[in-house]
Structure 1
């Protein structure tokens, strides 16, 4: 009889501990979601950084906004993992404003996975790119999978366009490439 009570007591403790862990994980996830929403939803700070030349950090280029997928992120010079952890990265060898602007970001596994939903973009969707040089609206033109070694989509162009690049889940050697051309003025 004592063994049964002891076993029941241990089982009860395990159930309570597991319940506590699930509850704790849920709270942490909700807090991270709230922090991310606050970061993504705070456009006033980004716009202020972009439009005020005095306080504009040299390596902060501007912001990218795509309403369809609730994306609003800061663009920073560079595409290293360190930069992509917190920002949308500007691919160094591409134009910053006039021409073909190359941008990269994570789509999963990071606190700020800005390109998590760019796979939902379709031709005709609008993208707004704001820098200290001005603001432009772009219309999605193409979406395709490319090899990680295919840099042809980032070559210079005579028109103004954005090229967004991110990884593809479970396809190590491929990338998702979304291109948008400047909206007719």
Structure 2
């Protein structure tokens, strides 16, 4: 796992440096579009059930009343292309997350799934990831019991079969999916 951590630090540091312009560009657009805060901070559960603050670009309007909050046009684009997730590279640098691992869920969802899905807590054997095996296998998004049960099976497969080679395959597949999503939204 030391090799994984060294890779996580190196990859996330390079990503942040290379795409600093993208962080600044998206942050500026969010600020111009809807003011501050630019980042959304959400509590998530990580390795060994440790609670951490997960960073995302804010994709919802900045209304004080939660009933009035809506996904902004920019936020919709960022969500569909996963660009709202790129601040999580800072979570990787901090050590709360990994580049590849089971995707973290909302704490309330964790509590519900822990009670209703056997082996759900196995997901917390590794750090959560910006991307994961379940995500690149098409199992992302929905949070109904059936989808989460399948996601847990895929997460368990990843945990039991972890290798540096598998991580690299997942990263390349993520890059292809992300570029495809961006191109589909732009063109």
TM-score, structure 1 length as denominator?
0.27
The structure whose RCO (Cα within 8 Å, separation 6+) is larger is 2
TM-score, structure 2 length as denominator?
0.27
